[in-house]
Chain A
Amino acid sequence: MATEHSKSAARIMIAPAVFLLLVWMLIPLCMTLYFSFADYRPMRGVFDAWIGFDNYVRFVSSSSFLSSVGTTLWMVGGILAITITGGILLALLLDQPMFGQGIVRILVIAPFFVMPTVSALVWKNMFFNVDNGLFSYFYKFFGMQPYDFLSQSPLLSIVIIVAWQWLPFATLIMLTAVQSLSSEQLEAAEIDGAPPLARFWYIILPHLSRAITVVILIQTIFLLSIFAEIFVTTNGAFGTRTLTYLVYQRVLESQNIGLGSAGGIVAVILANIIAIFLMRIVGKNIDN
């Protein structure tokens, strides 16, 4: 039984981690909050500590805000759709009896460990490049005009790059979930004459629902802050400017700290709405 003594010892042991995270969260966030109400443009030597909600009004009502939210939704939605559909199919495939299953798993999981700048540059140059990229070669091979991915469909290109990186994660989680499905249930359904599609729809998919939810929430948190892939491919041009990227540009490129900070707070609020849902699911899990 935990004694009073061990309880106070426990508090002391938890304290450093809590204190550090508290400082890490509160100080910069309060500074951002403070700047968001200021007209602060260091390059021009402007500093007016209080201009009310002007920055928020300007940030939210600018056309770049709405388009950046749209871009973010398309990007996150596209990547989620690809990784979840692909992840489920791949997981079901990997669950089948085969030779060299371990090696196939290793091949499939590999992209997750490639650093974002490497995967973005490799795709940009060696696959998407209109002059020397591998895709252009395939287009020419089939007698078609090479397609300039990054300038014709920049958003799709980034979606492909990031989906490639996250497909392994979705697959791995789906595979973990698929493997915990009891085979008796599936066999019973098969004996009762349920066709494969019905088995998938009524037994496998419901079983995967928790894993799907977890993948959606965790990926969304990471995908909302996609940065490096945009940074090295389009630098935010051609309709690939997400909310994260817009805030980055306001703060570090145009050095309008007030406006950027207001944008940062907006991003924090939007991310928190998603976070609440994830916390509920994870929270339930602690109790079990």
Chain B
Amino acid sequence: MARAISPRKKLMWTALAWGFGLLIFFPILWTFLTSFKAESTAISDPPVWFFFDWTVQNYHDVLERSNYPLALMNSIIIAVGSTLLGIVIAVPAAWAMAFVPGDRTKDVLLWMLSTKMLPAVGVLYPLVLIAKYFGVMDSRLLLVVVLMLINLPIIVWMLYTYFREIPGEILEASRMDGASLKNEILYVLTPMALPGIASTILLNVILAWNEAFWTILLTTVDAAPLTKFIASFSAPEGLFYAKLSAASIMAIAPILIMGWFSQKQLVRGLTFGAVK
């Protein structure tokens, strides 16, 4: 039974929650507002909040006078590429572990997870050496492969927790009816697995998009994604707040929107099913 709640109490909670919500969101809101200001307005004292001459000049400047388009392209290729490659490798593995569990399935799963805990810095130099040896430093291919490997354990785990919820009886029934392994996967499993696969893709694109260790250290210009592009603003000259804001908003907007759709999967995916 839900208790009757007095409207006054509800209004109080609403005000409090909105207050904290806006406080936490404020840096993003402030960046958004600043991105539409002229550079001189962006640092005016006292700060101006809403009433200024809104301009899209900063967006023009960032788009035309910098490497932004290339960085955006790199981010998309690296994030989507590494995720899809990971999915192709992880789907069969997760399927097998969920539906044909062996004695050592659990060990394999935990071992996969343990690779995720390897501190990146521990393998930094070997990776640079290997990349240089194969002549792939600062290439999209390298980043696609490295980020795929970093996220592969999470992809396998997420898919595994989703696949495990598909009732095994349906698969058994289809086997009784004589469906081959191929048909079983294609016509029985795939339709039921698609939502889980979609969530996994969504979360992993977000993780790959925001990855900021390998993307910064393994790229210079050609394959530099947005993480690296934005980092180049750390030693700027002259007035740049409005342009920094515009570049930042362009870098985070697509992922912010995707992220809002993936809240639930986030908890599941990042806790490896330990909190549901």
Contact = CB atoms under 8 A, between A and B. Distances in A.
Q: Do A and B come from one complex?
A: yes
Interface of A: 1-2, 6-7, 9-11, 13-14, 16-18, 20-21, 24-25, 27-29, 31-32, 35, 90, 93-94, 96-101, 103-119, 121-127, 131-132, 134, 137, 140-141, 164, 167-169, 172-173, 176-177, 180, 183, 187, 210-211, 214, 218, 221, 224-225, 227-228, 231-233, 244, 247-248, 251-252, 257, 260-261, 264-265, 267-268, 271-272, 274-275, 278-279, 281-283, 285-287
Contact of A278 (B95, B117, B227): B117
Contacts of B209: 115
Contact of B112 (A17, A105, A116, A233): A17
Interface residues of B, number: 100
A35 B216 CA distance: 23
B72 to A, nearest CB: 13
B119 A97 contact: no
Main secondary structure of the interface of A (DSSP, over half): helix
25 contacts: A6-B181, A13-B92, A13-B93, A13-B96, A28-B126, A35-B125, A94-B17, A97-B10, A106-B260, A111-B24, A113-B260, A115-B251, A116-B227, A121-B234, A124-B234, A126-B31, A137-B47, A140-B45, A169-B270, A177-B275, A225-B121, A232-B231, A248-B121, A267-B119, A271-B118
A18 B27 contact: no
Contacts of B241: 125-126, 132
Main secondary structure of the interface of B (DSSP, over half): helix
Given A110-B28, A114-B256, A116-B227, A271 B212 contact: no
B179 interface: no
B252 A6 contact: no
Interface of B: 2-3, 5, 9-11, 13-14, 16-18, 20-22, 24-25, 27-28, 30-31, 34, 43, 45-47, 89-90, 92-93, 95-97, 99-102, 106, 108-110, 112-130, 149, 152-153, 156, 172, 181, 206, 209-210, 212-213, 216-217, 226-228, 230-231, 233-234, 241, 244-245, 248, 251-252, 255-256, 258-260, 263, 266-267, 270-276
Nearest to A228: B212
Contacts of B109: 286
B115 A25 contact: yes
Contacts of B10: 97-99
B149 A24 contact: yes
